[in-house]
Chain A
């Protein structure tokens, strides 16, 4: 590999500054915690986070496992990407299944999305595996409640977040001290925006699930959102199905992730579209965030991602 010369004036671009910050955070956790885990949804943020984590320890392997909290209601393309990544990088994958908690009676399906049920599964898996740090791909630009989340976010023994009792976070000195049973959520992408993520995906040529790019699909409209017709997601009577060109801006559980009409089929087309979009990605496509103004804050307190 050729040796790269330093840029003039020794300045990093904003994207490389964010990259450096994320790698610093990831290394800090690997050095200070006994059992970290990287939470992996198969969405673009967690794929970027994994990409950064792999870089942080080159040429060594990832020194911690990756965990997928699986609602069972997945897009096939997402699972394909996940399994391909595991095979290619040799990372250790832990799957925590929401179905297991439903079968054991720890949670009850209310007929709506399984998304809220993930919290129970996530906390159980963290406890059972004795994980003391869990990397999440959340970004502060996603949602109001996240704007105040720390990079190192302390969770008590019940996995709860207390926004008023957050530790001050100064310079790049992160305090990860905790007692047994407590854990820290770590957000290396805190300072990234959706636009940064896409720019980085483009710059690094990172493979994402195909559904992020425009494709033709059977959809229907509900609550002013476009939802995909899927084996886990059927239209109700009166909801008209039609086919159009769409892409997904976020990828979560099939039952709560909407898509947007788009013809952007490449990273650069998506970047162009993101730059002019006038809707937040969650506002456009996440039914779970629309419940109330404080929807995310409530779920975060309970221990959600």
Chain B
């Protein structure tokens, strides 16, 4: 079975992007002789020494004249294993709109770098936009390697720099490939110019990259697109609801709820393009029949009873403004189109403008102009059924339309519902009043504290924590190891390993640690916690509650950690099976002034004793 892979590229003429695409199309035989003849003719007319494959992709006359690509162009090629659709966009900041458009349907993005110049602002911007649009796979194509004599060290420097940057983004899979699009090295066929490169050529990677896992098969969301009522004698009573499965797997006999109305029913039949099917999954276009006669129309959404989207008239979103001649201003009314629903919408607030190059948030912004991104609050006239974009791109995406010009003026991505989490975590909701306890930490039998272990995987955090826990219990002191990994099986089961989710994982860990410490426990938290800011948050939380907090740095060199590799994780990370692995392709910021530094030249017993002394258990 051949599958489909949608790719986004962005870049300027200088990167050799058009040459790269021309090369992919040409070498995979998607460029035909008559097209090539036209390209060769034009190349000669312009006095080029070689056939300029970039001309293959130049579409409109004005582009050919100006020698630039100004819009999103779609290209097609196929191998026996996959069919590819490339959304090809220009890379300059004034074409952010086009990049966002091209990337919106992509599963993989190719970020191009000129090996001579290294990472430029533009490459970072492409990677950022790709992660913003939820693209899970990035290929960093280090092009023009021939011009730096296939310099291995230089390639590695570019790769490492990009990985450091990508660690801040919500991207799980980065593959870096050295290539020369002009000469065809490592594009379609593996080159012998770089014997040090052990990875695949670009096309091979595109054929093999695993994308099926990217889809959300958990949350059933079926936006009703069209109601089918034949009104023929043969199908007099037929009534079914046509639409495209946005996410989840729908099955016959599933109990479902129809939103926003809230009526429940049962699926009796699912009809696919080729007859009845037992199950429907994204992106199938089907029609669904229900057991009960409920009033359902276009714009309604079918979900599972115990797994529903947010039904709301107000939400926050990141938007990219796309209109040439008007700006987004708070207070203005637009038309929103989200799934199959169309409604009036008002921008009630502009929180900040996001600089796509520096990721700086400008809170003083009062408007968003063409190609600018920002965070806004929207209020809609009728309730919409939305999910957070990072969890569900289908129910989390929308466009805004200007009611005067009918033009599409913005693309939007729904953000996490802050009100809910904030209420639980920060008591920021006005309805959640804090109850003060009648006792203080001093009144309890024992005094609690938190020992926070940071360090690489395999640096000995858990082992020391476990030994310390046993020792403390032997001494009659209440102690508890709060393991971040264990939490992921229950409380934090909704979190993945993106930077955002890791931050949330640590935030919860910090809060639980503080609660346990407040109850009198000595809490031992082994957590890689690579970023200083996350550890600082945990410390602040404890200090605000008047609880002691000790930061312990397990300072084991990565070589030693990798040699021990107790869980086999380094081997898997090196093999590319795990991405964003701290120390390999994700950074660790060691604490500058830890309360205690544990080094591996001591025995485990000695290290444990240091912890006992640290918490003052031995007086």
Binding site for B on A (CB under 8 A): 1-7, 9-21, 23-24, 27-28, 30-31, 52, 55-61, 140-141, 144-145, 147-148, 163-164, 166-173, 175, 177-179, 190-191, 193, 195-196, 277-280, 283-284, 293-294, 297
Contacts and interface: CB of A to CB of B under 8 A. Distances in A.
Contacts of A196: 83
Contact of A20 (B1, B57, B249, B284): B284
B255 interface: no
Contacts of A191: 74, 76, 85
Contacts of B394: 171-172
Contacts of A179: 406
Given A60-B228, A169-B101, A175 B271 contact: no
Contacts of A2: 275-276
B249 A283 contact: no
B281 A60 contact: no
B341 to A, nearest CB: 10
15 contacts: A1-B275, A4-B272, A11-B212, A21-B283, A27-B226, A31-B340, A57-B228, A58-B271, A59-B234, A147-B57, A147-B73, A179-B406, A279-B33, A293-B38, A297-B60
Interface string B260-295: 000000000001111111111101110100000000
B340 A144 contact: no
Nearest to B342: A32
B62 A170 contact: no
A173 B83 contact: no
Contact of B281 (A10, A59, A61): A10
Contacts of A169: 101, 408
Contacts of B104: 170-171
Given A13-B3, A144-B58, A171-B394, A4 B34 contact: no
Given A60-B230, A145-B59, A170 B34 contact: no
Specify which of A20, A24, A170 lies most central, judged by the most chain B CB atoms within 10 Å of its CB.
A170
Main SS of chain B's interface residues? mixed
B73 A148 contact: yes
A297 B73 CA distance: 14
B35 interface: yes
Contacts of B1: 7, 11, 13
Interface in B396-411: 397-399, 401, 406-408, 411
A18 B62 CA distance: 31
A28 B62 CA distance: 32
Contact of B244 (A7, A10, A20, A144): A20
Contact of B277 (A4, A55, A175, A195): A4
Contacts of A21: 283, 285
Nearest to B104: A170
Contact of B279 (A5, A172, A177, A278): A5
Given A6-B279, A60-B230, A294-B61, A283 B32 contact: yes
Contacts of A190: 74
Closest 9 CB pairs of A and B: A283-B34, A60-B230, A14-B4, A6-B279, A23-B285, A177-B406, A170-B104, A14-B83, A10-B281
Given A14-B4, A61-B230, A147-B75, A56 B32 contact: no
Contacts of A11: 1, 3, 212
A290 to B, nearest CB: 9
B60 A148 contact: yes
B2 A141 contact: no
Contacts of B225: 24, 27-28, 31
B298 A60 contact: no
A164 B322 CA distance: 14
B373 to A, nearest CB: 14
Contact of B242 (A9, A27, A294): A27
B32 A277 contact: yes
Given A6-B278, A24-B225, A59-B234, A172 B78 contact: no
Interface in B61-81: 61-62, 64, 70-76, 78
B81 to A, nearest CB: 10
Given A11-B1, A168-B101, A60 B397 contact: no
Interface in B1-45: 1-4, 29, 32-35, 38
Given A60-B230, A144-B58, A175 B401 contact: yes
B100 A56 contact: no
A56 B242 contact: yes
Contact of B32 (A30, A140, A280): A280
Interface string B218-257: 0000000110111110110010001110000100100000
Given A24-B225, A58-B271, A14 B322 contact: no
Given A20-B284, A60-B238, 13 more contacts: A2-B276, A4-B277, A6-B277, A14-B4, A20-B283, A20-B285, A30-B226, A31-B226, A31-B298, A60-B235, A173-B338, A283-B32, A293-B61
Contacts of A278: 29, 32-33
B335 interface: yes
A55 B273 contact: yes
A164 B244 contact: no
Given A11-B212, A168-B101, A294-B61, A175 B399 contact: yes
Contacts of B217: 10
A150 to B, nearest CB: 9
Contacts of A6: 249, 277-281
A238 B204 CA distance: 52
Given A57-B228, A144-B58, A170 B73 contact: no
A17 to B, nearest CB: 5
Contacts of A59: 228, 230, 232, 234-235, 238
B614 to A, nearest CB: 50
Nearest to B398: A173
A23 B273 contact: yes
Interface string B556-569: 00000000000000
A297 B277 contact: no
A195 B77 CA distance: 10
Contacts of B304: none
Specify which of B104, B229, B393 lies most central, judged by the most chain A CB atoms within 10 Å of its CB.
B104
A52 B70 CA distance: 33
Contacts of A9: 212
A195 B4 contact: no
Contacts of A1: 275-276
A30 B406 CA distance: 19
Nearest to A298: B61
A4 B275 contact: yes
B279 A166 contact: no
Specify which of A19, A59, A193, A284 lies most central, judged by the most chain B CB atoms within 10 Å of its CB.
A59
Contacts of B85: 191
A1 B97 CA distance: 47
A20 B34 CA distance: 32
Interface string B320-339: 00100000000000010110
B309 to A, nearest CB: 16
B61 A297 contact: yes
Contacts of B72: 148
Contacts of B101: 168-170
A278 B28 CA distance: 12
Given A20-B244, A24-B244, A56 B277 contact: no
B597 interface: no
A171 to B, nearest CB: 5
Contacts of B235: 59-60
A40 to B, nearest CB: 20
Contacts of B3: 11-14, 17
A138 B330 CA distance: 40
Nearest to A31: B226
Specify which of A61, A177, A195, A297 lies most central, judged by the most chain B CB atoms within 10 Å of its CB.
A177
Nearest to B41: A293
B38 A60 contact: no
Given A59-B230, A147-B59, A171 B335 contact: no
B105 interface: yes
A52 B272 CA distance: 12
